[in-house]
Structure 1
């Protein structure tokens, strides 16, 4: 199972982490991948300047709310088996 974690700490919250989470939830639901992807929130990843901080199987990414779909298609979908 793919594990996606989104920082919901204050710095990332200000940069739109809620919209990133909602965008990822939408992508997962639309593609019926709830049984293959575990989406969760975490507090501070220690890279606040880079936020919104996201990890996919412990690989770090900075994802802006307007790039969620592109991020999902290029970084997450290729991992789905």
Structure 2
């Protein structure tokens, strides 16, 4: 039996991101998701919203059918 997962090429926060310190955030997503690490990717509030920031994912954790990403915000393009 295989493990279902998604391959994501951008971060969609839906307002659930948590600031850790400075420009570092964590985000929990349901299910198992694979993200690119150590390269700049887009951050959006929703999949349909405008491109609002650039971030670099530093860590991806899978646990209890959840994915937890830790990322550093590199550039903010919109405050909303």
TM-score (normalizing by structure 1): 0.25
Structure with the larger strand share = 2
Q: Which has the higher helix share?
A: 1
Who wins on radius of gyration, i.e. which is larger? Answer: 2
TM-score of the two chains, using structure 2 as the length reference: 0.25
Which structure's relative contact order is higher, taking Cα pairs within 8 Å and 6+ residues apart?
1
